[in-house]
Structure 1
Amino acid sequence: MTTRPTSGPPDDTTRGKVIQATLECILDTGFYRASSNEIARRAGVSWGVIQHHFGTREALMVAAHRAGAARLEHLVEEADVSGPTPAERLTRYWDLLNSYYGRPEYLASLQISLNLTRDPAVSAEASETIVTINERTQKRFIDLEHEVLGGAPTTPGFLFHTLRGLALSHVVLEGITPTELKAQRHPENRPAHARQLIAALAKQLE
């Protein structure tokens, strides 16, 4: 299975190319099979160059983890979910969540998080990244959710977890579907499911 992360403009710096190659390698082969040599080959550099920028493989994984966290923080800070109707606000909120949690690189970030937080050499550093990004984005997500709901009463986080779950379910299913079955899937179902869920939620808010 070969899946390419495609969201956002490419980072053409050496560090950016190596991090991108790291994510691609993890998606294709898994965290533990994403070897130093394979990452270097995909990035078009030598392992010595990677060592110069990152040091160890573990440090490279930490850097890739932080890059994903920084991207989420940027997306949340720049988000605009305004709109005259609940459906329009919900659509904007869905687009925000889907642009991060509905992308293949999020699956790579999950693998990195799960493995780094269990590695004694870097677990404290990885956990700190997770705590920091949660602290920085949680309040912003809550504020955006309030804006989308327009003051309608609901359990805090309900909207976030519902729409994030939909985005994540699609990218997980696409990631584990065998190549020979992909042609039988219907890609139009992904936006259709989002539209149906948004319509149902908007109806409750109107």
Structure 2
Amino acid sequence: MIVRTVGLSAKGKVTGESHYRAKLSWAKVKEMRRLRFEKGVPYAEICRLFGVGRSAAAKAINGATWATPPVRNVKQIEAEDLSLFAQGEGRWLIAKKSGATVGSVARAMKSAGVAWDGVKRAGPAKVLNAPNRMQKTVAVNERGLRIGEDHQNAKYTNGEIEMVLTMRDDGKSYGEIARLVEMPKSTVRDIIKGRRRCQYPADFKTIKE
């Protein structure tokens, strides 16, 4: 499993050289500022040396961008290694095994063209025929209690939770996510901060409905 480490800002957004649009690094920005403030090198020369436009250079040097270094690092999975995907494991299990963010696993699966049924487990829920009642396999925590969309009071599917996390990884604000998924902003915030729907399955059990 190929995993890379990325830096996050205090708001949980990918920042600095870890951002997919980044053309600079913290080391380059530091050198650009040194050249400008200590040596008085013109912007035009700095732009030529570092291969960026004047606007990008000016913003980086003056702190409009590249203002705050990452406050913490997280792991993100890359798409090259498809071994766990091929086993049919869901995003939560792959993220737990690799130590990567769920959003990065989702993007890797999409990039690799791997279909996913919206269930955070190794394969879809199994529904078995029974004489009088239906049976299905549900995810449970360490205490044996149902979690995620399998919880009896769950209002949102695992797929919707994944969508919230993925959009946050992509840099969208709480308000934007709330509008796009039609979910209260407070709920979006609680999900992203790990106050709700944050448990990983410890096991699976079959229940009757």
Same-fold call, TM > 0.5?
no
TM-score when normalising by structure 2: 0.30
More RCO (CA 8 Å, sep 6+):
1
Higher-strand-fraction structure: 2
Instruction: Mark the structure with the bigger radius of gyration.
Output: 2
